[in-house]
Structure 1
Amino acid sequence: MMLKVYETRREQIQNELLEIGDMVIESLNAALKALKDEDFKALKDAELSLKKLTISSNNIDNSIVTALALYQPEARDLRELVSYFKITNELVRAGGNTKGFIKIFRTSFSDDLNTKTILEYAIPLLKSTLLSLQTSMSIIKESTTNHIEEKYQRVVVEESKTDDLYSMIEKNILKLIAKNLDLSKEYFDILTSLRKLEKISDRSVSIAHLLLFAERGGEIERK
């Protein structure tokens, strides 16, 4: 009976984690559409509520603490709950980076900037960031070790792509700044916003790593 009650609580925690992950994913999806449509005013509608995300995260943390106290799980179940506890923090940080990206990009962008060059890299960077987060969150419901490891590797690949894409756009924007110093602040702000996408991919790898730890043990922190 105790096991069944624990499994119900565990599934509830998983579903709540997926819900707050979806908040961030939906915001990134809306931002991607705005960039594809070159409708930068629509970015305002893509912003998510960090307050709502934090409240939901705190509620999950409380549920995890309660589960630890009531059921005193061992081995894999304990690793899983500890991982979920850390994942809520990673999602809040990803949410903060998402909000920062949208706000800074929206307020910094103007028709004076080279839209084509910026979007040539910003769109694939955002796509890769989104895929890394979606893939890491999908691991939560995985029950096969091989599938978890495969998805973890896919997240790592996407994170590496975001690093490469950011390096390329940084290089190109620095060239644009050299040609037009009057717009240097705006270009630097755009770079700052895109850097936050790279950080979201870092958070995605952390989430995937925590879920891999929950499955097979090992080091809880990435080296």
Structure 2
Amino acid sequence: MLKPYKENIETIKNEIYLMGEEIVHANKISLSALKENDLSMLKDVNLSIKSLSVRANEIDNLIVKTLALYSPEARDLREMVSYLKVTNELLRAGTNSKSFVKTFKKSFNEELDRHTILEYAIPLLKASNNALETAVNLVKEENDKEVELGYKKVTVEESKTDDLYAMVEKNIFKLASENIELSKDYFEVLSSLRRLEKVADRAASISNLLVFAEVGGIIEQA
């Protein structure tokens, strides 16, 4: 493998990893805010979608440039195509994470049954971010078996988010029906929590793409 090509690959992987880590870090701050029941902590979530978009475009441009200059072979081509898709999935995960913070902070007021909501919202956010963090770490993993193991871990966490969202949805529907005057706020909270489930979906897509990059197979979109 040509040295410049290998250097470009390492740069691409590192930039994708850093992009993912930025989103994971933001979600960890959100998780701390929910655990402490202190929404003022959400002001520390400094996640700029514009900045993420610029970074994704820069990574994609480097990928396209590398493809044009070095004409990689089949496996390398598969890897590069996967990375092109991964940047888009990360951008979508970042957008959903940002949307969660914005909507939750706005709608989670003192009049709502906070305890009932947080009972499932906290583990939902934790599972969602575990899925994303595991997927992001796979970017730097080169062992095929470890990549496949990581993919399985992501799918387990993603499945948890489905179950947890279903439970919190049921509870919020009940609370909204019992407090019609607060139904708008309850449904906005539910909408924000839906974004966390979507982050886990994006993590599943990322891990699947990285399995495809390393061992081939079929790309499945969450």
Class of the TM-score when normalised by the shorter of the 2 chains: over 0.9
Q: Counterpart of 1:86 in 2: which secondary structure? A: helix
1:14/1:140 contact within 8 Å kept: yes
Deviation at 1:3, TM superposition (A): 1.4
CA deviations on 1:6-57 (whole Å, 9 max, x unpaired) are 1111000000001110111111011011111111122122141000000000
In the TM superposition, 1:73-84 aligns within 5 A as 73-84=72-83
Q: Counterpart of 1:143 in 2: which secondary structure? A: coil
Q: How far apart in 2 are the matches of 1:148 and 1:23?
A: 21
The sequence identity of aligned pairs, in percent, is 54
In the TM superposition, 1:79-158 aligns within 5 A as 79-158=78-157
Report the equivalent of 2:32. 33
In the TM superposition, 1:50-89 aligns within 5 A as 50-89=49-88
Q: How far apart in 2 are the matches of 1:220 and 1:155?
A: 15
Q: How far apart in 1 are the matches of 2:110 and 2:219?
A: 46
Deviation at 1:143, TM superposition (A): 1.3
Q: What runs of 5+ residues in structure 2 fail to find an aligned partner? A: none
Q: How far apart in 2 are the matches of 1:112 and 1:10?
A: 52
CA deviations on 1:35-92 (whole Å, 9 max, x unpaired) are 1111112212214100000000000000000000011101211111100000000011
After TM superposition, the score normalised by the length of structure 2 is: 0.97
Q: How far apart in 2 are the matches of 1:69 and 1:176?
A: 56
What is the RMSD computed on CA atoms of the aligned residues? 1.1
Alignment-mate amino acid for residue 6 of structure 1? Y
Alignment-mate amino acid for residue 160 of structure 2? K
2:155 is equivalent to residue 168 of structure 1: no
In structure 2, the CA distance between the partners of 1:47 and 1:177, relative to structure 1 (3 Å rule), is farther
2:17/2:140 contact within 8 Å kept: no
CA deviations on 1:153-186 (whole Å, 9 max, x unpaired) are 1100100000000000000111111211110000
Number of equivalences = 222
2:112/2:182 contact within 8 Å kept: yes
In structure 2, the CA distance between the partners of 1:154 and 1:198, relative to structure 1 (3 Å rule), is same
Alignment-mate amino acid for residue 16 of structure 2? L
After TM superposition, the score normalised by the length of structure 1 is: 0.97
CA deviations on 1:167-210 (whole Å, 9 max, x unpaired) are 00000111111211110000000000000000000000000000
2:120/2:168 contact within 8 Å kept: yes
1:44/1:103 contact within 8 Å kept: no
2:158/2:201 contact within 8 Å kept: yes
Deviation at 1:127, TM superposition (A): 0.3
Q: Counterpart of 1:48 in 2: which secondary structure? A: coil
Q: Counterpart of 1:191 in 2: which secondary structure? A: helix
Report the equivalent of 2:14. 15
In structure 2, the CA distance between the partners of 1:222 and 1:100, relative to structure 1 (3 Å rule), is closer
CA deviations on 1:127-149 (whole Å, 9 max, x unpaired) are 00010000011111111111111
2:132/2:199 contact within 8 Å kept: yes
